[in-house]
């Protein structure tokens, strides 16, 4: 009976380890980009395009465009400012040349770029265009995702109470979930121990 108890305990420990490893794995979360930049400070233009199937290899092409603000009923001019193709990030010629850096992830689910030092002229709309070509045996389908970021450059950083509140709530939820798992483990261990004791009493 002692051996059986040890087996149950080892199983619970294994489940806990799996849970911890699962939490530690990087998870793709599609979050919107910040839209307020501070004059003279670096600004990350966040663009997330999560892969739905990890087992499928995909060739990812990324293009960034900039559109300055225009008057109503007049379509804005779209300027190509950055490109990522075949593991090679390249800046396009133009007003952003030398002012942009690649800030994405290795798995290309995060395809963000960063403005090194924001200026008032950087205010406008940025377009992130992601094209994925999936590799199958007989055909190569593609998926296209386009996102827009309306950026405003200000002299001072505005307060972002909502973002701080969301971050705090995320950590509180994580702590509560971990505590609940520990309580469940203790409950299961006590239940198993009690069952073993009853089985031993019955045997005698």
Give the pLDDT confidence of 155-176 residue by residue, as tens digits.
Answer: 887 665 566 677 788 888 888 8
Residue found by looking up tokens 């798995």 in the block: 107
Q: Looking only at Cα atoms, what is the longest distance across the chain?
A: 91
Cβ atoms of 162 and 171 within 8 Å: the answer is no
CA atoms of 109 and 164, how far apart (whole Å): 24
pLDDT in tens, 68-120: 876 565 667 889 999 998 788 999 999 899 999 999 988 889 999 999 999 99
With a threshold of 0.85, does the pTM exceed it? no
């Amino acid at each position: 009976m002692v051996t059986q108890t040890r087996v149950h305990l080892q199983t619970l420990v294994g489940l806990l380890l799996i849970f911890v490893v699962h939490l530690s794995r990087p998870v793709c979360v599609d979050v919107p980009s910040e839209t307020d930049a501070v004059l003279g400070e670096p600004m990350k233009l966040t663009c997330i395009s999560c892969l739905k199937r990890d087992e499928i290899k995909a060739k990812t092409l990324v293009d960034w465009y900039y559109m300055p603000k225009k008057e109503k009923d007049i379509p804005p001019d779209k300027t190509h400012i950055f490109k990522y193709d075949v593991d090679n990030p390249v800046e396009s010629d133009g007003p952003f040349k030398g002012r942009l850096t690649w800030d994405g992830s290795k798995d290309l689910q995060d395809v963000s770029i960063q403005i090194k030092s924001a200026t008032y002229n950087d205010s406008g709309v940025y377009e992130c265009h992601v094209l994925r070509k999936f590799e199958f045996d007989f055909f190569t389908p593609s998926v296209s995702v386009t996102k827009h970021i309306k950026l405003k450059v200000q002299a001072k950083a505005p307060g972002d109470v909502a973002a701080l509140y969301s971050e705090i709530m995320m950590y509180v939820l994580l702590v509560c979930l971990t505590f609940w798992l520990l309580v469940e483990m203790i409950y299961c261990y006590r239940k198993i121990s009690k069952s073993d004791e009853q089985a031993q009493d019955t045997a005698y």
